[in-house]
Amino acid sequence: MTDWTSRYCASLTELDRYRDLVDAAVALGAHRRPELDPGAAHTRLEAIAHRVRCRVPHLAGRGNASTARGSEGLMAHLHEVIFEDMRIGCHEDVAMHPDAMDFDLVLDGMPGLPVPCALAYCGAAERVGLDVFGVEVPGRFLVAVRDETRRRITVLDPHLRGQVVDGHEFRDLIHAFDETIDPRTMLKPAAPATWLRRWLRDLAIASTHCGETHLLDSWSRLSTATEDILGGP
């Protein structure tokens, strides 16, 4: 039987790409469902990327994605595949349940909470060459795609099926939490530790909410391991 705690800790030693973060997310889900196939999530994400590449073969790839036309075209087709074909994401009233934090289940179409939805988008977008990053804001976990040609960043909410968040809406999200914060300081890539702290926090809340309190010790131990290995902000 796989030692998923050891596998999770090992995944934290190399988090240079979103596909590395996927390994950590899968290991977290396997603490509830130890029979998980560790490669299934990568297979699903690659299938999403393949469908996008097939629709725009002349654009898929990091070099083409750096152009304005390439970025817009890839985002449009990625949106179709992820949110319309695969139906990843949810509505605002998604249940606070650990299943909604299970990355494999979310990739299968289970209504998900913000963090796994964001990772699903980032994991697929990275594979087709988009310059993408996660953005943590209070109550949400957004993603942003850079368009270097136009010096523009597009922010969207995968949890709400790819709804675009414009500058005014982003400002309002931040100021609803704290009016003294400059929204520009929040529009930055979330570090791996930020992703995983939020993931484990939401798992603990969801587990408590649905009565799976026997898992709280696991989430606490994994949180401690995350801080010990990653540390930092």
The reported pLDDT for the residue numbered 151 is: 77
Q: Which pairs from 223-231 meet CB under 8 Å and 24+ separation?
A: 223/197, 225/5, 225/8, 225/9, 225/12, 226/12, 226/193, 226/196, 226/197, 226/200, 227/193, 229/9, 229/12, 229/13, 230/12, 230/15, 230/191, 230/192, 230/193, 230/196, 231/193
Task: Identify the pLDDT of residue 53.
Answer: 87
Q: Which residues of the chain have pLDDT under 70?
A: 1, 57-69, 90-93, 149-150, 232-233
Q: Give per-residue pLDDT as tens, 153-188.
A: 999 999 988 999 999 999 999 999 889 999 889 999
